[in-house]
């Protein structure tokens, strides 16, 4: 397991590197599609790979509940279970400490969850999280952490940071496998001094890579940017930097500009299933009436199978009829759009044209309105609470 920065942009923090894992090399900057339950929704592993994806994420909490860690281990580990031959990263389950707040109780020892499936109780500690991830066999595993809501006060966030640090120490101590990289997760909410403290503490512990967590969970984008910029400056330059939960094109470009190497998000696949698709001019909604008779593809110039073979009118028809093929074709497009963006950014860093590439892209790309974005995020969290209410 190794990481090497091969080129950087002198006028920004952007950098291109190579992340080597037991299951292959990941060129960075890289985007990780989310496959929480050992699947990127609606696509086969072969399709995901054909889109340019090098690494996929699984979620320890969800896989623990279904089908169970022991079953996956018995069947040869997560790679074999899901027929994915490339690198894998598993989240620790720490995000569920945030997203399933109404179904859990946190203590210094660990987290007592009530299953969102059947209400049964499960107690997960940092040691168990590492044990589960080692059994799953991912190339990169994450330390168990507490992600506090953006709205929490400073004292509450400070307590969560201190607990995250204690858990990080326990995760390092319990790790046994030498063929897996363990990443620590910087927390601190929207409090700059807590972010600085967390970054300093975790880098002193010494991890194989560092993630920035607890962002893009409802805070304004300017807050996200400020927290990332401050944190990146305190992380080791020779280790991978991973910004968790970021998936919109403009935010990915902004993160790369600050020196981020790895991103993950369910956004591209989630909005695809709801009829949203990325273009060079911003996000569009295929259900809108003006696509009803549009002969051309979703996105002119896109090389994905969807855009090369199907008209926007056909996609509009599929979504209006709620045909299953609609979700697959839109997901293929959105993931290919993001993977192509990562490839183009990497090339521009290597050939020294990243600043002009960034300016050109952002000049034509229209981001989702900030008020709309925050409203959608809040609705999503409210829906989650309603769905998992026992």
| pLDDT tens digits along 292-343 | 999 999 999 999 999 999 999 999 999 999 999 999 999 999 999 999 999 9
Residues 207, 320: one domain? no
Could you say which of 139, 251, 264, 299 is catalytic?
Answer: 264
Mind listing the pLDDT tens digit for each residue in 128-139? 999 999 999 999
Could you say which of 91, 251, 261, 299 is catalytic?
Answer: 91
Which of 219, 234, 265 represents a domain boundary (last residue)?
Answer: 265
Helix (H) or strand (E) holding 113: strand 111-114
Residues 152, 75: one domain? yes
Q: Is 179 in the active site?
A: no
In sequence order, the 6+-apart residues with CB closer than 8 A to the CB of 8 are 14, 15, 16, 349
* 56-59 and 121-124 beta bridge pairing: unpaired
Please report the pLDDT score of residue 215 as a whole number: 95
Q: Using pLDDT thresholds of 50, 70 and 90, give the confidence band for residue 368.
A: confident
Q: Where are the alpha helices (DSSP H) in the chain?
A: 45-50, 60-65, 69-74, 78-82, 94-99, 126-136, 154-174, 192-205, 221-232, 249-257, 267-273, 305-309, 312-321, 324-351, 354-364, 370-387
Residues 19, 107: one domain? yes
Residues 120, 197: one domain? yes
Q: For residue 141, what are the β-bridge partners?
A: 90, 182
Residues 291, 241: one domain? no
Residues 219, 321: one domain? no
Q: Is residue 372 part of a domain?
A: no
- DSSP of 145-186, one letter per residue? -----TT--HHHHHHHHHHHHHHHHHHHHH---SSSEEEEEE
Residues 106, 125: one domain? yes
Q: Is residue 30 part of a domain?
A: yes
- The CATH number for 233's domain is 3.20.20.105
**Cα dihedral 341/342/348/354 (nearest 10):** 80
Q: Is residue 170 part of a domain?
A: yes
Q: Using pLDDT thresholds of 50, 70 and 90, give the confidence band for residue 96.
A: confident
Residues 259, 286: one domain? no
Residues 358, 243: one domain? no
Residues 177, 242: one domain? yes
Please report the pLDDT score of residue 382 as a whole number: 53
Q: Is 91 in the active site?
A: yes
Whether 388 has a pLDDT exceeding 80, the answer reads: no
Specify the residue for token string 């074999």: 80
* Residue 29 Cα distances to 8, 52, 380, angstroms: 11, 13, 28
Mind listing the pLDDT tens digit for each residue in 32-65? 999 999 999 999 999 999 999 999 999 999 999 9
Q: Cα separation of 241 and 169, whole Å?
A: 19
Q: Are 161 and 202 in contact (CB under 8 A)?
A: no
Mean pLDDT in residue range 110-117? 90
Q: Is residue 383 part of a domain?
A: no
Q: Is residue 194 part of a domain?
A: yes
Please report the pLDDT score of residue 102 as a whole number: 80
Please report the pLDDT score of residue 116 as a whole number: 86
Which of 236, 265, 294 represents a domain boundary (last residue)?
Answer: 265
Residues 147, 28: one domain? yes
Q: Is residue 375 part of a domain?
A: no
Which of 205, 231, 265 represents a domain boundary (last residue)?
Answer: 265
Q: Is residue 387 part of a domain?
A: no
Whether 370 has a pLDDT exceeding 80, the answer reads: no
Q: Cα separation of 32 and 203, whole Å?
A: 23
Mind listing the pLDDT tens digit for each residue in 213-222? 999 998 999 9
Q: Looking at the 3D structure of the chain, how many domains does it have?
A: 2
Please report the pLDDT score of residue 101 as a whole number: 76
Residues 258, 282: one domain? no
- Domain interval for residue 193: 2-265
Q: Using pLDDT thresholds of 50, 70 and 90, give the confidence band for residue 389.
A: very low
Whether 385 has a pLDDT exceeding 80, the answer reads: no
Q: Residue 368 gets which letter from DSSP?
A: P
Q: Is residue 348 part of a domain?
A: yes
């Amino acid at each position: 397991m190794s990481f090497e920065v091969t080129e950087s942009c002198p006028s920004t923090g952007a950098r291109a590197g190579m992340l080597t894992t037991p299951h292959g090399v990941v060129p960075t900057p890289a985007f990780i599609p989310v496959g929480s339950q050992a699947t990127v929704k609606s696509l086969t592993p072969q399709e995901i790979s054909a889109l340019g994806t090098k690494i996929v994420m699984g979620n320890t909490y969800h896989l623990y509940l279904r089908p169970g860690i022991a079953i996956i281990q018995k069947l040869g580990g997560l790679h074999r279970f899901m027929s994915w031959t490339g690198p894998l990263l598993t989240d620790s389950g720490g995000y569920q400490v945030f997203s399933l707040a109404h179904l859990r109780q946190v203590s210094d020892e660990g987290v007592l969850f009530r299953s969102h499936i059947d209400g049964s109780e499960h107690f997960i500690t940092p040691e168990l999280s590492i044990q589960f991830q080692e059994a799953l066999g991912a190339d990169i595993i994450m330390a168990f952490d507490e992600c506090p809501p953006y709205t929490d006060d400073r004292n509450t966030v400070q307590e969560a940071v201190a607990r995250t640090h204690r858990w990080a120490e326990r995760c390092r101590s319990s790790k046994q496998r030498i063929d897996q990289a363990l990443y620590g997760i910087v927390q601190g909410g929207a409090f700059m001094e807590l972010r600085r403290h967390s970054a300093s503490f975790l880098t002193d512990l010494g991890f194989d890579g560092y993630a920035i967590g607890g962002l893009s969970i409802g805070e304004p984008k300017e807050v996200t940017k400020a927290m990332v910029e401050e944190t990146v400056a305190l992380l080791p330059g020779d280790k991978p930097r991973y910004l968790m939960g970021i998936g919109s094109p403009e935010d990915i470009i902004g993160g790369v500009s600050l020196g981020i190497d790895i991103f993950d998000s369910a956004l591209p696949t989630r909005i695809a299933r709801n009829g949203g698709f990325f273009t060079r001019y911003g996000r569009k909604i295929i259900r809108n009436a003006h696509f009803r008779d549009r002969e051309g593809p979703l996105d002119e110039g896109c090389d994905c199978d969807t855009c090369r073979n199907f008209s926007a009118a056909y996609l509009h028809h599929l979504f209006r009829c709620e045909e299953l093929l609609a979700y697959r074709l839109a997901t293929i497009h959105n993931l290919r759009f993001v993977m192509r963006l990562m490839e183009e950014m990497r090339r521009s860093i290597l050939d020294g044209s990243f600043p002009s590439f960034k300016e050109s892209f952002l000049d034509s790309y229209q981001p989702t309105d900030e008020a709309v974005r925050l409203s959608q995020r809040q609705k999503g969290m409210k829906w989650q609470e309603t769905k998992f209410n026992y």
